[in-house]
Every structure is written in structure tokens, then in C-alpha cells.
Amino acid sequence: MLRDFEERDKDELLQKMDMGGTKLKALKLQHRARATGIFLRQCLRELSGKGRKRTTRNSDLRQHSFASMPEPAKKSRKRLSLSRVRNKIRQNQRVRKDTFDTQLNKRPFPVRIFPLALTALAISMFFTFDGEKMIGRLFNDISIFKVRELDFIGCESTSKDRLRLLTGINLYQTSLLGLDTDIVATNVEQDPWVSRAVVKRNWPSEIVIEVVEHQPVAMINRSTTSQPQLFYVDKTGTAFLEVNPGQDVDYPVITGLDRFAEEEQRQAIFADIYSFLRYAGRNNPNLPAQSVSEIHINEQGEMVIYLVDHTFPIFFGKGDIYEKYIRLVKVLEALYKEKRKGMLISGVEYIRMDYLNDKVLVAQSESG
């Protein structure tokens, strides 16, 4: 039972401790005002003679509880349990934290946005003023970022040693951080065999360069004199390299194309040439790609084809390339046979693929 009372007193004391200071002061003032009112009413009754006993000195008032402002009775301090004290401390800590967070959130808007604005400005300046290169220049001397390996991918016709010189990269001296990959790619593309170059960094010290080479499909004669001047030409019609002695010349030669100065017209004519070369690349036994010696473009922009083993021209015309190619294969198949209506390929003077619609004219010499 005694422990129950002690616990109850502790609860009451904690409740009083939890009361705010303002509320406690209000209760004290209310208590004093009530006691003062009772004292004044008793004094009035005594002075008017209505009281049961008349007082003549102050000591007579001592019997009344209202004679003075009694001090609150001092209670003996009760000991609290350790768990309650700890709970109270944790509660106060939570209150302080919530109050602190609330005050932080109430900071003026410009104070909160200033760090974000400063960060955004720094990032913007980094990219605007090429921060990567600036950092690269600052750290160029760090040995771990010096280029130790320089590799090439896709080199078949060109020399890796030549490309290595064109890069301008010095092993163990050039830094990977300050390297301008666009400049390196441009330098590599100066090689006539290189159509495109892509430079990649493999951190911390390797450079890999992927090379796309021109693939020759024919040779083109750029000479305006009797002495031929041959260049390799790729599938886009770009003449990228002059053919020198000792290089591969097993390609058909395009002549007469340079007489057309207008680029759009040249591209249209070359589109027909490349289409015919693609079909010949199927290597039909009657018309393999290796059998085509020359593709001449006459003044009308029409193709005239010459074969390696025969001197007669094949007037191929322009347009409808696939249909004409199929007909030419069939005609050559017939001519290569020794007996076919008395006609032999050795006696052919010329072949016209555009003689009439869907017709082919094979002209024979009188001796054939």
C-alpha cells in the first residue's frame, strides 16, 4: 500500500513538473487572490460587529487561516526511479530537436537558396569554360595518366606506324587528361586511306583509335591527256588516293566522268556505275566483276562497258540498271556457247542494251 502511495505521489510530482511555468504562476496568483478575498471579508465582518468575537490585536487573528499569506507546505522530496528520469531526459531531447529543426526550416528563403545557386553557377562555369581541359592542364604532370599504350583497330590498307606518327602522341609524355581527342582524330584522318577515326580513352593510360578505311570499288582516270592518272574511288564516288606502281590495280577503270562539272549530275551518274558494280560483284560466271575492264561515260552521261577479254563496247545507257544487267548476263551466256544460231562472241562488233524497250541488239561484224 505504501508503495502505491509513493508511486501516486511521484506521478503527481511529474505532472506538476510537466506543467508549464506560466500555468504554475497563474495557479499561485489565483490561490493568493482567493485567500486575500477571504481575509478582507472576515475583516469587514469583524469591524461591523457582526463577527462572533471582536478582535483587538493582531495576535487575535492568528487563529484564522486567512490572517497571513501562508507559504506552501514543504513536502519532503521524493526519490524518482531511474527509468522515469531517463524517460524525462529523452523527452526533453526530442523537444529540443523538434524546436531546433523548426527554427532551421524558418530560415529566410534567400539563405536556403544561396548554396544551391552557388553550386549551379559553379557547374555552369565548369562546362562553359571547358573545365575538363582546364583540369587536364593542371594535372598533366601526374605520371599515372601518361599514355603508355596506343592501339589501332581496323587498319588493313594503311600502316599503324604512319598513323602513330600522325596522332602526335608521345608515349610516357602525353597526358591522358589534357589530350584533345578531336584533334587526334583529325590528324589521323589526314591519312588518305582513313575515312573516319574515333579516339577513345581507356583510363588511366591507354588510347584506342578505331579507324574506318576507304574501300576502293574502282579506279578513276583524272588525266586530261593521253597519259592516264588513276585514283582509287570508294562507293561514295570519292577519289581518295592516287594509284602508284606496285599497288593493287585489279579494279575497273572509270573514264569520262570528269567532263561533268556539276556535282549533282556527277553523283547521279556514279550512282548508276556503283549499282552495276554491285551486281557484277555477285560474280556470275558469265559476267564476273574481274571481267569488267572499263566503264566509260559518254557525252550524254550514258555508260559504255568494256570487258577484259573482248574489245567490243556494250552500250549500257543509263537507268534500269538491274534489268539491263540481267539481260546482259543472258546474252553473254548465249554468246559464250560455240553454236547458237551461227553467232560467236568473237564476231560481235557491239551490243546495245537500250536498242528498243526490252530488246537487246547484238551487232556482228561481216567477218563474224
The Cα 153–Cα 150 span in angstroms is: 10
Type of residue numbered 187: N
Instruction: State the CATH class of domain 218-364.
Output: alpha beta
Q: What is the mean pLDDT of residues 85-105?
A: 65
Phi-psi region of 236 (alpha: psi -120 to 50; beta: other; left: phi over 0): alpha
Domains in the chain: boundaries: 17-50+60-70, 79-129, 138-213, 218-364
Is this structure's pTM higher than 0.75?
Answer: no
pLDDT band at 38 (very low <50, low <70, confident <90, very high): confident
The Cα 27–Cα 145 span in angstroms is: 78
The pLDDT tens digits for 211-268 are 999 999 999 999 877 788 999 999 999 999 999 999 999 999 999 999 998 999 999 9
Chain position carrying cell 602522341: 169
- Residue-level pLDDT at 133: 63
The Cα 182–Cα 47 span in angstroms is: 112
From the list 79, 46, 88, 81, the residue with the least C-alpha distance to 63 is: 46
- pLDDT of 331 > 80? The answer is yes
DSSP calls for 35-50: HHHHHHHHHHHHHTT-
Select the more confidently predicted residue: 2 or 8.
8
- pLDDT of 40 > 90? The answer is no
* Pairing status of strand 303-307 against strand 292-297: antiparallel
pLDDT band at 284 (very low <50, low <70, confident <90, very high): very high
- pLDDT of 128 > 80? The answer is no
Q: What is the mean pLDDT of residues 166-173?
A: 95
Q: Name residues whose C-beta falls within 8 Å of residue 3's C-beta, 6 or more positions apart in sequence.
A: none
Helix (H) or strand (E) holding 348: strand 348-356
Query: Which DSSP category does 106 fall into?
Result: T
The pLDDT tens digits for 257-282 are 999 989 999 999 999 999 999 999 99
CB 210 within 8 A of CB 192: no
Q: What is the mean pLDDT of residues 360-366?
A: 84
The CATH homologous superfamily for domain 138-213 is: membrane protein fhac (3.10.20.310)
Helix (H) or strand (E) holding 132: helix 131-138
What the block records as the C-alpha cell of 44 is: 469587514
DSSP calls for 279-291: HHTT-BTTB-GGG
The Cα 91–Cα 83 span in angstroms is: 12
Q: What angle do CA 346, 248, 312 make, to 5 degrees?
A: 20
Query: Which DSSP category does 153 fall into?
Result: E
